[in-house]
A and B are shown apart, each in its own frame.
Chain A
Amino acid sequence: MDNEEIVTFRVFIAEYKTKLTEKFKSRKKWTPPNKNHILAVIPGTILDIKVKENQRVKEGETLLILEAMKMANRIAMPFDGVVTSINVEKGEMVSKNHVMIEIQPL
């Protein structure tokens, strides 16, 4: 084993000399979800957008239709609020966790 790769690695408060794995090094940092972001929970295509920027939308009203796995998913407003930004266009393909729409509570 290559000594150069040995690093200091903290487990609780003790520090150990050890190597890291590629998988460990490339792990993604977790950030708490932003409730004002409407994310694509599944990769798919934007079939239709039902709202406009600055529009007031009531909880449960449709924001857009996301087609994924041959299913048209109705994406609803999670709370009463206003649409602050629309980041997708009709027909656009979005990957998972793409921020499709940004909103603000009233």
Chain B
Amino acid sequence: MSLKQFIQDLRERKEIAKSGGGEKAMQKQKAMGKLNARQRITSILDKDSFQEYDMFVEHVARDFDMEKKVLHGDGVIIGTGTVYGAPICIYAQDFTVAGGSLGLMHSRKICKIMDHALKMRVPLIGINDSGGARIQEGVNSLAGYGEIFFRNTMASGVIPQISVILGPCAGGAVYSPALTDFVFVVDNISKMFITGPSVIKTVLGEDYTMEEVGGAKVHCEISGNAHFFAKSEKECFEQIKKLVSYIPRNNQIWAKRIEAKNPQFDKKIESIVPGDPKLPYDMRDLIKSVSDESEFFEIMEDFAANIIIGFGRMNGESVGFVANQPMVLAGVLDCDSSDKAARFIRFCDSFNIPLITLEDMPGYLPGIDQEHMGVIRHGAKVLYAYCEATVPKITVIIRKAYGGGYIAMNSRHVRADFVFAWPTAEIAVMGPEGAANIVFKKEIADAVDPEAMRQSKIQEYKEKFANPYVAASRGYVDEVIEPADTRSRLLHALEVSRDKVAYRPEKKHGIPPF
């Protein structure tokens, strides 16, 4: 054979491997409104940057007539490429090949690219579209999942891990995405659950659709399993690229700095926040009034909307914003919002992203349901995450900072580097109404007109305690600032914190209130 013929033969082999599950299966995938695995990878990566490996891997199942079946690439595509010029490892399950089912070799391919990502310290993107374990491969298939989970855990906090759910992801398979940092879902395409509608029907006799049990909306609004919701795969890929631009490749470096730009928000910062602490406003406006170009990339927008988390830039550098949202549930802390914030704080801390906390919250949500759901242990996660974090941590107290919530929201006491307060800040054990009722109980009860006395005492308490100056007098607040100076203060604080060194006792690992 001439060299040309060898090359021709290789090309033919590659063409066959690339055909995946064949023309018919590809058409079926398309009819479901889904791109195929290779299209997905190339849509995320920079043009022509994708390099594939293990294209000729074949499955090893020998039971149930499996030896007669050819599964191209064993139903998963792995490779490397770049996103905005930065290296990345990626895999995509190919639903057209045996339903993307996970067998031994399928899992070995995923593990190979995961090992590579961890060794080379580059982010990992996993695209899930799989019917689950390949039943014909029995325990080998379960072993495969276990190997993936172990690698997810080892890579956690070392390289960013992104999961994209573009099809079914059911049973044990859901735990790989759950162990990763960010989960992307697409409306009508993503389906994630431990037990699907058919099992629920058999066991409980209850009828639910896949969307109701584990659709994209469910995981973005109710369960909190997913972080980004998109209406189409295209929108989802844009979100992934945007996320990647905000985060560093690994935990040893800082996110890439870009050119600094001033905010372009049309509202003046003073006009956003009402002076009356009981009136709402959209905290996102405040974030946009301080961030570069007024950009804010929100995470988990529809889950526990009483707290806001996401990335922005200050002076060209990535920062993580954690902010109470007075517009939703008055911005209270509760089980879900605590979980949401705590995990984000830990991500930022792992990946050298400074934290900016904007505080305006009346405390923890009261109620027996919250108590029974464990608001104590969930709330403790926020405290734990802030205490533990050693990245630059800056807090601006906008209005309400009451009780335990004040401590939890990156106070000086949990080692904030800088704490600023607006003149509207009310830093106190509780709101003036509650405090006045307790502190002046006797005076109010004994008064000729108790209601008038109550109002006068509330006013007295407000003037004496519900302000930033008591905290400032003890140095708990570094400076009371004018709202218009917020951005410049933050920029300076970040600038001088860049080489921050903070020691924590050496340990195997802490025991956060999971």
Q: Which residues of A contact B (CB under 8 A)?
A: 1, 6, 9, 11-24, 27-30, 43-44, 68, 93, 95
Contacts and interface: CB of A to CB of B under 8 A. Distances in A.
* Chain B contact residues, majority secondary structure: loop
B203 interface: yes
Nearest to A31: B368
21 contacts: A9-B330, A11-B330, A11-B363, A12-B362, A12-B363, A12-B431, A15-B278, A16-B326, A18-B280, A18-B327, A18-B328, A18-B329, A19-B280, A19-B329, A21-B304, A23-B336, A29-B369, A30-B372, A43-B204, A93-B204, A95-B204
A40 to B, nearest CB: 11
A13 B433 contact: yes
Given A16-B326, A16-B330, 19 more contacts: A1-B327, A6-B280, A9-B330, A11-B431, A12-B431, A14-B278, A14-B362, A14-B433, A15-B278, A16-B279, A17-B280, A20-B329, A21-B305, A22-B221, A23-B222, A28-B369, A29-B369, A30-B368, A95-B204
Nearest to A32: B368
A24 B369 CA distance: 10
A44 B202 CA distance: 10
Nearest to A20: B329
Interface string B266-285: 00000000000011101000
Closest 7 CB pairs of A and B: A16-B330, A18-B330, A14-B431, A11-B362, A43-B204, A16-B278, A93-B205
Interface of B: 203-206, 221-222, 278-280, 282, 304-306, 326-332, 336, 362-363, 365-366, 368-369, 372, 430-431, 433-434, 437
Contact of A19 (B204, B327, B431, B434): B327
A64 B257 CA distance: 67
Contacts of B206: 95
A76 to B, nearest CB: 23
Contacts of A95: 204-206
A33 B372 CA distance: 13
B134 to A, nearest CB: 23
Given A16-B326, A21-B306, A23-B222, A11 B365 contact: yes
A15 to B, nearest CB: 7
B362 A1 contact: no
B437 A13 contact: yes
A6 B366 CA distance: 19
Contacts of B330: 9, 11, 16, 18
